[in-house]
């Protein structure tokens, strides 16, 4: 169960950092081949370098789908590897969203076949589309609330759609006992206070610091002591010269901001 696993590893590694395995072969250095085999070798290396500084991993499935079925095989091997050598929870960043019978098929893909701990999903099509995931045993989802990209202003921020989503999702989370979290972009820090008032104790998955320009200082000001957070960094760690050092440093900076 994601929530317990997260709490345990947050404590054990004293970290709210999650590393995004957005393993884009275009950005690989010459040590790794730019194909599905290279992806798995790259991920192994990143996991070995970073696992003691994080509370989980988040592969974004787009970078695997790009390589067709062999890419999906690399993802499957990566998931297996993380589960075998660590106790860290795995969130697949998939942003899936579809109606009943289709959502049920996605839920099977991620929780019965791939057996990960959580996935991200998109709420556009309504609350019923969340059910097929959370009705499964050992499942958990992060629902997109307010994302970190500029486009968030087009529909999410318009008429406070994000807040309506978060309020609805929070009711579901109470009913389904901590099986839901929400995505809260670090770049939209001025809205975070409103979110903390409407989200109970749901875990926030927070992208947007680093490459996307979100500031740690402003983010934590917005969070104002809210503790159930997972802060994602992808490119800033996995493509840095020294992923181990980058993960350690970011973990420490985040802990400072947490007042630890």
List the catalytic residues: 95
> How far from chain centre, in Å, is Cα 232?
6
Provide the minimum distance between the beta carbon of 124 and a copy of itself in the complex, in angstroms, as a whole number. 4
Cβ–Cβ under 8 Å, residues 60 and 18: no
Contact with a copy of itself (CB under 8 A): which of 1, 7, 37, 109? 109
Distance of closest approach, residue 78 Cβ to a copy of itself, in angstroms: 12
Residue 110 token pair:
């991620």
Q: Does 85 bind a copy of itself (CB under 8 A)?
A: no
User: For 93-115, b where at least 16 C-beta lie within 10 A, e where not — what string?
Assistant: bbbbbeeeeebbebbebbbeebe
Of the candidate spans 38-46, 149-157, 224-232, 242-250, the one that interacts with a copy of itself by CB under 8 A turns out to be 149-157
**Could you give the string, one character per residue 192-231, with x where binding to a copy of itself holds by CB under 8 A and - elsewhere?**
--------------------x-------------------
CB of 40 to a copy of itself, least distance (A): 12
Q: How far is CA 128 from CA 50, 134, 201, 202, 242, in A?
A: 37, 11, 22, 19, 44
Q: How far is CA 253 from CA 6, 16, 214, 248, 250, in A?
A: 20, 11, 14, 9, 5
| Chain contacts with a copy of itself (rule: CB under 8 A) | 22, 24, 60, 62-63, 65-70, 72-73, 76, 93, 95-103, 105-106, 108-109, 113-114, 122-129, 144, 147-156, 158-159, 161, 164-165, 168, 212
């Amino acid at each position: 169960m994601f929530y317990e696993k997260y709490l345990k590893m947050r404590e054990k590694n004293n970290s709210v950092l999650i590393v995004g395995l957005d393993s884009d072969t275009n950005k690989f250095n010459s040590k790794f081949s730019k194909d599905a085999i290279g992806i798995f070798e790259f991920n192994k290396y990143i996991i070995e370098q970073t696992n003691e500084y994080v509370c989980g991993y988040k592969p974004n499935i787009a970078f695997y789908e790009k390589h067709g079925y062999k890419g999906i095989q690399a993802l499957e091997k990566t998931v297996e590897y993380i589960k075998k050598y660590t106790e860290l929870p795995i969130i697949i960043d998939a942003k899936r969203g579809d109606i009943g019978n289709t959502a049920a098929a996605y839920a099977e893909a991620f929780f019965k076949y791939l057996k990960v701990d959580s996935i991200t999903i998109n709420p556009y099509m309504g609350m019923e589309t969340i059910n097929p995931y959370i009705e499964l045993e050992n499942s958990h989802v992060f629902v997109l609330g307010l994302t970190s990209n500029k486009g968030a202003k087009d529909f999410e921020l318009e008429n406070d759609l994000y807040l309506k989503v978060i309020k609805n999702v929070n009711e579901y989370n109470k009913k389904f006992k901590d099986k839901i979290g929400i995505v809260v972009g670090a770049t939209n820090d001025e809205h975070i206070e409103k979110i903390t008032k409407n989200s109970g104790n749901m875990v926030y998955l927070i992208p947007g610091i680093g490459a996307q320009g979100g500031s740690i200082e402003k983010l934590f000001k917005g969070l104002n002591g809210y503790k159930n957070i997972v802060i994602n960094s992808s490119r800033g760690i996995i493509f840095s010269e020294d992923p181990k050092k980058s993960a350690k440093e970011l973990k420490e900076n985040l802990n400072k901001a947490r007042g630890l």
